[in-house]
Chains A and B, each alone.
Chain A
Amino acid sequence: MRWPNALATSASTARSNGAPVVGIVVRFVRRYPVGGAMGFAIVLLIVAAIAAPVLSPYDPIRIKVLEARQGPSAQHFIGTDYMGRDLLSRIIYGARVSLFVSVTVVVMSTVLAMALGVASGYIGGRFDMITQRVMEVILAFPGLVLALALLTAMGAGVIPILIALTVVRIPATTRVTRSVAISVKEYPYVEAARAVGCSHIRIMLRHVAPQTVAPVLVLATASLGTVIIAEASLGFLGLGIPPPTPTWGNLLGGVVTATFKPLWWLVVFPGVAIVVTVLAFNLLGDNVRDAVDPRLRGTT
């Protein structure tokens, strides 16, 4: 599988200007204003998450019983929960967890899967066979069910969540990088590299791995939103990062069934935060895919 590599060409033209990353970003935003806007929105969200202590009007954890169960008002823009905690503050702090988990999981799983896929495709033989069988075993489980099983074993917490979601995401990327590595290793330039005496490690790192960057980038941006939803689902089930840490999933866990008359703002607003964020990631992901693989442009 060969990928028409638009990012690589724009990178090489920009490199002559001395600012490759800026060049790529400028070109991308000009061609894909929606993706650019979504990227900007995501940057804003990340800044808001980092600046949570400054931005959020109240302490997200401190309980104030006298202010409990208030609807949206001038003091509490989107209301308070059953313990009088300001919902807006809790959502802003929740963004920290969602974004951190999502980006960390995607980066960790992508790096591991790239290493595994490139090595598996390039080395081949028994190593490849064993790796593929292990990947098949992981793929045999519905993703969320496997994550639940791993969490049951490891207990709740940030690190277990990161590990569980990373394991689930590895096989898909491994398959893609492996197939690229298998086709690339037959190319004359790889043979040339071997002929001039490059070691296998060097060939894998410098000559094979870079070819997988484009498809991997597409997969990675597309899955940022998926991971946010997965983490929120675990939080909703009460098996994610334990309270009192506010996460978007925790905020929604059990609120509908908690009382006879559920407070609508507790259900609506955290969900809106999730949908808007995932929407931004998905739209950005679609445009990144279009930029990297122009053949697919406009098909969705």
Chain B
Amino acid sequence: MHKYLARRLLYAVPTVLGTTALVFVAMRIMPGDMLAAMLGEEGAGLLSEADRQIMLAKLGLDKPIHIQFLVWLWDIVRLDLGESFFKGYPNAELLANRGPITAQIAIMSVLFAWVVGIPVGVLAALKRNSFLDYIARFSTILFLATPNFWLASLVVLAYVLVFDWMPPMGVVMPWEAPWQNLQITIMPAIVLGSSASATIARLTRSMLLEVVREDYVRTARAKGLGESAVVVVHALRNALLPVITLSGLLMGSLLGGSVVVEVAFNVPGLGATMIAAIRERDFLLVQNLVLIYAFVFMFANLAVDMAYAWIDPRIHYE
């Protein structure tokens, strides 16, 4: 296992370097120079040549492009994320402030997706073609077609028009004021988890339907096990393996979705910070944020692969 982990981390090195290169290149292919992009053509035109040089030097843009890349890599290794160009405060502080709420919403949404998706999928499979199954399948299809930002907008609309209430604003850590924190995070997490739970319910149902046809399930029944033991111990355990793999892949859409949901709910997390940085054209912050999202996603997938090897004894990574 340790060997496998070490090898996976080694294999990740080119991908990590590739992602940094892609992000860096993407931020440098903008038409015109960076200052013009940040300040607008007009604003950049107003700068005197001396000021221009000072600003370029401040941003590190006066060096050749490959040096800029290496400097940036070294900054990342040292965990130095620079400071916000327009606001002047350190980016690391900003991210430490905004990161926890995004992580919290993401984890809560994954839990919601499992807690709702797996039982619904199991029930639908066990009562195949029943009324319950049709309801489950219909809502699955419906949730897969519903964009999370619209669902979020409907929830906010209901807050205002029906309940005449808005969740508290600002960043509140769960250990400081749990109730206030829950008011901010619960609905974003449910909205974000809803389409993931639909995907999980769908896969759980189809995998379970496949697994109950297997010989070992028939054997389990034949030796006189009760139906719940057959389903939970023998069938579900095997049916859930692909669900775990899927959860890793779903992290991608959850991370992307969290950006949209944070904006829709006005939650001050990393995603909302990234959109604000894009609008303010604070490119160095955007560059670092995009990279953070990629790293988190890669790490999540690695964790899922490890969990997979741990749960399924048939898999030996040598």
Which positions 133-180 of chain A face chain B at CB distance < 8 Å? 133-134, 136-138, 140-146, 148-150, 152-155
Q: A143 with B286: in contact, given A137-B19, A149-B23, A299-B206 (CB under 8 Å)?
A: no
Q: A141 with B290: in contact, given A148-B274, A148-B278 (CB under 8 Å)?
A: yes
Q: Is the CB of B160 within 8 A of A275?
A: no
B259 at the interface (CB under 8 A from A): yes
Bound complex: CA of A279 vs CA of B147, how far in Å? 11
- The digit string for B270-281, where 1 denotes a CB below 8 A from any CB of A, is 000011001100
A83 at the interface (CB under 8 A from B): no
Bound complex: CA of A287 vs CA of B88, how far in Å? 55
A256 to B: closest C-beta gap in Å = 5
Query: Closest B-chain residue to A255, C-beta based?
Result: B153
- What chain A residues lie within 8 Å of B167 (beta carbons)? none
- What chain A residues lie within 8 Å of B251 (beta carbons)? 142
Q: A136 with B145: in contact, given A236-B264, A252-B150, A271-B150 (CB under 8 Å)?
A: no
Q: Is the CB of B294 within 8 A of A141?
A: yes
Q: A152 with B278: in contact, given A133-B14, A142-B293, A261-B161 (CB under 8 Å)?
A: yes
- What chain B residues lie within 8 Å of A256 (beta carbons)? 153, 156-157, 160, 264
- The digit string for B16-44, where 1 denotes a CB below 8 A from any CB of A, is 10110111001111110000000000000
Bound complex: CA of A300 vs CA of B137, how far in Å? 8
**Contact size range, B:** 35 or more
A9 to B: closest C-beta gap in Å = 25
Q: Is the CB of A239 within 8 A of B149?
A: no
A206 to B: closest C-beta gap in Å = 34
- What chain A residues lie within 8 Å of B53 (beta carbons)? none
Query: Closest A-chain residue to B293, C-beta based?
Result: A145
B202 at the interface (CB under 8 A from A): yes
Q: Is the CB of B147 within 8 A of A140?
A: no
B97 at the interface (CB under 8 A from A): no
Bound complex: CA of A268 vs CA of B205, how far in Å? 31
**Contact size range, A:** 35 or more
- What chain A residues lie within 8 Å of B184 (beta carbons)? none
A193 to B: closest C-beta gap in Å = 35
B131 to A: closest C-beta gap in Å = 17
- What chain B residues lie within 8 Å of A181 (beta carbons)? none
Q: Is the CB of B256 within 8 A of A239?
A: no
Residue among A140, A143, A279, A300 making CB contact with B19, cutoff 8 Å:
A140
- With A143-B253, A252-B149, A278-B147 already in contact, 5 other A-B pairs whose C-beta atoms are closer than 8 Å: A137-B19, A140-B298, A142-B253, A145-B256, A153-B28
Interface residues of B, Cβ cutoff 8 Å to A: 14-16, 18-19, 21-23, 26-31, 137, 141-142, 144-147, 149-150, 153-154, 156-157, 160-161, 202, 205-206, 209-210, 251-257, 259-260, 263-264, 266, 274-275, 278-279, 283, 286, 290, 293-294, 297-298
Interface residues of A, Cβ cutoff 8 Å to B: 133-134, 136-138, 140-146, 148-150, 152-155, 225, 229, 232-233, 236-239, 252, 255-257, 260-262, 264, 267-268, 270-271, 274-275, 278-279, 282-283, 299-300
